[in-house]
Chains A and B, each alone.
Chain A
């Protein structure tokens, strides 16, 4: 119960932060990526602001080893920079620039993004399903 309450609170705060920061406005995100046009630095402030509390949280987490509900702090991923990381990030970035949406803001703005917001999420979910065989094929080819 506490686990779900904390998760809902974290999700809610995340959504509120995305909304307040202006990151559900696709022109603001695309403006940040638009270095050849009218560049908008807002996203850098958002990233900087978000990283600050997380820097402290990681310090605390690695000292305490366990979360409030007793689960272990996730281990550091292997530092391997694989092909999937690069290919995936490039594909993701292309879609991010094209629409101005990434997964968090797409969900935070679901209630006020109109039909287009649902279309994006449905396509994103389909893409997530497609990623499963793509990943398997890339692994087989490696």
Chain B
């Protein structure tokens, strides 16, 4: 019954959690992708710029090396630039307004039983479900 993708999901999830644990216990930081990047983009996190850059360098580089060795997985990313730009803008504005995304609110927030993290996760999952329903099943653009 257990699909191989689910097992890979669990294994990958454990690695993600280990990364978050390392960043928390090693650096005293919450591993939130949107916050780490956003602080560099809007300049609010310049005091810890080198730490942020190091994190992002690892985040981009290790999958790149893994893709060279084992081959890149298929991402099925849309080629529609309008969709990409609209989605990117929404994700950028939304995560900074909410102060977190799937990693910060989801992984790190829920595991701390943070009410903000739990509420954020409920709302972005609901909105995500509605978005897929609207753009896939109603409008048929994705």
Q: A residues near B, CB below 8 A? A: 3-28, 30, 33-37, 40-58, 60-61, 64, 66-69, 71-74, 76-77, 79-81, 84-104, 106-114, 116-117, 119-132, 134-135, 138
Contacts and interface: CB of A to CB of B under 8 A. Distances in A.
B55 to A, nearest CB: 4
19 contacts: A4-B51, A11-B59, A21-B11, A21-B13, A34-B129, A46-B9, A55-B111, A64-B25, A67-B29, A77-B99, A85-B119, A88-B98, A89-B120, A91-B93, A102-B91, A110-B60, A112-B67, A116-B81, A123-B85
Contacts of B12: 16-23, 46, 49
A24 to B, nearest CB: 5
A37 B142 CA distance: 13
A128 B24 contact: no
Contacts of B85: 119-120, 123
7 smallest beta-carbon distances between A and B, as pairs: A127-B92, A49-B13, A21-B12, A123-B88, A93-B127, A88-B98, A95-B90
Interface in B1-36: 3, 5-31, 33-34
Given A16-B66, A51-B107, A116-B79, A93 B124 contact: yes
B46 interface: no
A41 B27 CA distance: 32
User: DSSP majority for the B interface?
Assistant: helix
**Is chain A's interface secondary structure helix, strand, loop, or mixed overall?**
helix
A92 B94 CA distance: 4
Contacts of B22: 6, 9-10, 13
Contacts of A117: 75, 77
| Max count, chain A CB within 10 A of own CB: residue among B10, B19, B91, B125 | B91
A135 B96 contact: yes
